């Protein structure tokens, strides 16, 4: 765990520079981006401040940059292809892996153990990466954030050919399986409570009225895909 103090601000600034390729101006934004909900601080009565708002912003910016990148890189591919590849690039597991590769695990401030199986820790690294993107956007603007995403994340760390060869619409896959096997498949999606009054969704997949998997996301679609991927793994469909 990285402990924040004034004496370590220079080292922290250097770490952000190494990861993003840019010197931060407002270091407080980056500190906030690494603050997990387990160590949220009360900013005002009834509001606990963590990296969730920055995660929301970063999710939108990342989605836009990736969409534009794929649109330009594959001018003759249809919307379905572009959507599936983007979904694979920004899914939680892929972002978790990417965050670890660039060293965010050394910077995240948390309480407890991220190695546990609790829901609050399952996406700690990917959430922090999206929050970092949100912080960079507020600090440096869209153009420089786009450069960070492309030159420090996508180009050096992402094998697009591999992702394309393994890209699967997991929701479609499990629906196809249920129809073929004549099984009763139900997706239940609910907004889950949050101390910061911030929207998150949880999807539950039921097969013949029995729960198979759960998944979470910042949108209903992401939650469904996350749950569907887990179900596909459990049912040996991938």
Mind telling me the catalytic residues? 59, 130
**Under the phi-then-psi rule, with left for phi > 0, alpha for psi from -120 to 50, and beta for the rest, what region is 32?**
alpha
Count of alpha carbons within 13 angstroms of residue 56, beta-carbon side: 10
Of 64, 40, 65, residue with least CA distance to 52: 40
Distance, in Å, from the CA atom of 126 to the CA atom of 146, rounded to the nearest integer, reads 18
Residues making up the chain, counted from first to last: 238
DSSP label at residue 208: T
Burial class (CB in 10 A: 0-12, 13-18, 19+), 159: exposed
Of 221, 238, 234, 193, residue with least CA distance to 90: 221
**Under the phi-then-psi rule, with left for phi > 0, alpha for psi from -120 to 50, and beta for the rest, what region is 30?**
alpha
| 3-state secondary structure (DSSP) of residue 2 | coil
């Amino acid at each position: 765990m990285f402990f924040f103090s004034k004496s370590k601000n220079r080292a922290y600034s250097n770490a952000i520079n190494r990861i993003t390729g840019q010197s931060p101006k407002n270091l407080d934004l980056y500190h906030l981006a690494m603050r997990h909900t387990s160590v949220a601080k009360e900013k005002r009565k009834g509001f606990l401040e963590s990296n969730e708002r920055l995660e929301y912003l970063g999710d939108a910016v990342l989605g836009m940059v990736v969409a534009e990148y794929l649109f330009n890189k594959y001018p003759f591919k249809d919307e379905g292809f572009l959507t599936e590849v983007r979904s694979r690039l920004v899914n939680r597991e892929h972002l978790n892996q990417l965050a670890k590769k660039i060293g965010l695990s050394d910077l995240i401030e948390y309480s407890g153990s991220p190695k546990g199986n609790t829901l609050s820790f399952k996406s700690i690294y990917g959430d922090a990466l999206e929050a970092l993107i949100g912080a960079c956007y507020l600090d440096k603007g869209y153009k420089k954030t786009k450069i960070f995403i492309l030159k420090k994340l996508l180009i050096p760390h992402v094998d697009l050919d591999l992702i394309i060869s393994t890209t699967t619409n997991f929701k479609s896959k499990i629906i196809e399986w249920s129809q073929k096997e004549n099984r009763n498949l139900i997706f239940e999606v609910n907004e889950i409570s949050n101390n910061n009054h911030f929207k998150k969704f949880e999807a539950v997949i039921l097969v013949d009225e029995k729960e198979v998997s759960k998944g979470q996301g910042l949108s209903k679609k992401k939650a469904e895909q996350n749950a569907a991927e887990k179900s596909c793994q459990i049912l040996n469909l991938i």
